[in-house]
Amino acid sequence: MNEETINEAFSILKSYAYLGEEKHDDGTLLFAKAPHIAPQAWLHCIYAPLNDKDIHVLEKETGQEVPNAYKNFLKISNGLSVFNTALSLFGKRGNYKHLVDAVWQPFDLGLPNTYEKPSNANDNIFIIGCYDWDGSYLYMDKSDDSVHLCKTDDIKSLYEWKSFENMLYSEIQRLVELFDNEGQEKDSNKSTLPFVEE
């Protein structure tokens, strides 16, 4: 994994600090208050990193090995939320309690890689995220480390990136163009997916 590219992607999110920023005790970083979404909403969330033990537990929970590029990403950020949930990368949830200090957690990697995994997905497929536009999944193909976009019920690739870091950086750059300086969508009817739907 190219950590420099990941840091460049994070720099884009951190550049929204002029709209507010907050750091939690566990290391989770929030950028850009978004009162147009909800009183306590933030545009971007970089979750506290996982350690090797956390990742081992995650692999036991999912019953499969996390791809190396994503494993290394989890050691930097346990998932990610970009423009609220326009793009979400999944991570390991600590709990599902509805408490104030438990709110800032990623969507769970477990469910989409076990019970909700598309029936035509093989062992090389590891789901890492989604788009809130239509729930489309992002997955990594362990055979070549490529990243793909697919529907929730069909693993057929609808869009492809050659690497995880390429996907992350290019998608954050692309999404920035869809939002104004206050973090509001320029056109709420325009798809946030990386391709024009037919």
Task: Identify whether 195 is part of a domain.
Answer: no
The low-confidence residues of the chain, meaning pLDDT below 70, are: 1, 95-103, 197-198
Domain that holds residue 44: 3-176
pLDDT in tens, 134-174: 999 999 999 999 999 999 999 999 999 999 999 999 999 99
Q: What CATH number is given to the structural domain containing 22?
A: 3.40.1580.10
* 69 belongs to a structural domain: yes
Q: Number of folded domains in the chain?
A: 1
Check residue 3 and give its pLDDT.
Answer: 84
Question: Is residue 103 a part of any domain in this protein?
Answer: yes
Residue 32 lies in a domain: yes
Q: How much is the pLDDT for 1? A: 62
Whether 189 is in a domain gets the answer no
CA distance 71 to 87: 19
Q: Given strand 87-89, what is the order of strands in its sheet? A: 21-23, 29-33, 42-46, 80-82, 87-89, 125-131, 137-141, 146-151, 154-161
Closest CA to 17 of 39, 53, 43: 43
Angle ∠(164,172,36) on CA atoms, nearest 5: 140
| Assigned domain for 194 exists | no
